[in-house]
Amino acid sequence: MPITELVKLNIKQRNRQKIITVAYALAVTFAFILSLTNNSVEASVAGNERVNYLLIENNVAQNLSNPETIYPEDSIENIKNLFSTVNALVQEKQIDKAITVQKGDTLISVLNDVGLNRNEANDIFAALKKEFDPRDLKIGQKLHANYTIRSSSGEFVRLNTFVIETGIGERVVAYLNENDEFEVERQKDEMIEEVNSATGSIDGTLGASMQKQGIPSRIIHNFIAIFSYSVDFRRDVRKGDKFEIVYENYIDSEGKVIKSGNILYAALILRNDKIALYRFKNKAGNIDYYTEKGLALKKTLDRKPLAFKNARISSPFGRRYHPILRKYKIHWGVDYAAPRGTAIYAGGDGVIQAAKYYGSYGNYIKIRHNSEFSTAYGHMQRFAKGIRPGVRVKQGQIIGYVGSTGRSTGPHLHYEVIQNGRRVNPRTIKASTGENLAGRNLTEFKKVVANIKSSYSSMFAQNETPKIAKK
């Protein structure tokens, strides 16, 4: 038996004189049921007065949104109408199809795949274009089609709605109006900004400890990234240390989290040292985290920008005997031996200056971090998706994968740090300093700090020390 849903057909007897009418109505009912070509409708009659239920295949029942009530005085016409509706619905079936855009797909090709012919596809394409630029269709984007087919043959009948998801909680919807024309509208879920706070003791990893407090994983990832310049999580963070956080969530009207927002405040209490940082967008539009006094974080470059943290140094910076050239020469970087395909991270925030095959370096990337520092990466197997000159990267972002291209004896990362145009030892670089807040920026920033302090001072630790832990 197929999945069925109950649709109640109550024939209320108001008047004994109407029993004959009811009996006649029931005869009509059975005639209709027998006339249905599809077996997915059944009926049961109690006594000779009442239709108890109709079992109708699930998708038909969904279309009969309200159980129909039929009264004896007008039952014949009502039953006729109802059953002609049921009949049509049984012969047709609605399909909901979720589509993920694949490489090479266009809006037209997707509509063709659903079953629309070229004219129909062009019609809806023209309607959609008013709200959505078809060139914006991206691989992986989610689409939904609701369309009607014939139950017996599976033949495509019509498209009812077509949805393009354009963002989290945002979509462009095309639907058939009463005149059988497509109307298109842009929809956006109402998002409510919610500010949450949490504090807790660290037991095990910081990530796991934060997860226990119900903090979303993207927020945890960002929290760790904020401190990644100034805290060595493996060395500095111990059991019993604490964290504090104030962050935003966006929820819908039912309280479901649609997306996570920004971290407004982040603090780590490492033994007696509290590092508290506040988010601030300066007049130029740059967002960064500052101490209570408006001091920027001291940022340092990653000394081992690899996903494989146990990678050993296979060749240090400086003078060495070259195994291929068989002579002594200066080695201008550090080599880390790591399995082929290990992810390589950007050593710091910056802009990709080069991503190309570069002689003995093989596949090579150079990143400019600021006026003082650049980093370079050699012998890569391949570059990460989207990495090309001009692209902005964040510290810790994957830029490529370990390989053995160029002049190389085995898979390893050759990592160079260039300071003021000179290659220096990545293992002994000194931190560069971010810009501190001053003037009007500092005045505005102090309001932000006061706001957070007044709201959360009762739950957070008081012994604040404004200095940043040294790496």
The closest alpha carbon to 182, from 170, 194, 173, belongs to 173
Q: Which is nearer to Zn ion, 274 or 414 (CB)?
A: 414
Which stretch in 184-192, 328-336, 436-444, 448-456 sits in contact with Zn ion by CB under 5 A? 328-336
3-state secondary structure of 21: helix
**b/e map 344-381, b = 16+ CB within 10 Å:** bbbbbbbebeebeebeebbbbbbbbbeeebbbbbbbbb
- Range in contact with Zn ion (rule: CB under 5 A) among 45-53, 179-187, 325-333, 459-467: 325-333
* Tokens matching residue 299: 């940022």
- Residue number with CB closer to Zn ion (304 or 414): 414
Point out which span in 161-169, 199-207, 368-376, 409-417 binds Zn ion (CB under 5 A): 409-417
- Quick check: 304 binds Zn ion (CB under 5 A)? no
Task: Report the nearest approach of Zn ion to the CB of residue 414 (Å).
Answer: 3
Cβ atoms of 58 and 50 closer than 8 Å: no
Near Zn ion by CB under 5 A: residue from 79, 306, 414, 441? 414
Nearer to Zn ion, 369 or 414 (CB): 414
What residue number has its CB nearest to Zn ion? 414
Q: Which two tokens stand for residue 37?
A: 């070509």
DSSP 370: S
Nearest distance, CB of residue 365 and Zn ion, angstroms: 14
Q: How far apart are CA 228 and CA 251, in angstroms?
A: 29
Cβ closest to Zn ion, residue 244 vs residue 416 = 416
CB of 258 to Zn ion, least distance (A): 46
Least distance from Zn ion to the Cβ atom of residue 276, Å: 40
Instruction: List the one residue out of 282, 277, 205, 284 whose CA is nearest residue 238.
Output: 205
If one asks whether residue 335 binds Zn ion (CB under 5 A), the answer comes out as yes
Q: How far is the CB of 315 from Zn ion (least distance, A)?
A: 6
Q: Which is nearer to Zn ion, 19 or 313 (CB)?
A: 313
Report the C-alpha gap between 38 and 34 in whole angstroms: 9
Site for Zn ion in 179-208 (CB under 5 A): none
The alpha carbon of residue 178 and the mean position of all alpha carbons in its chain are separated, in whole angstroms, by 36
Q: Which residues bind Zn ion (CB under 5 A)?
A: 333, 335, 414
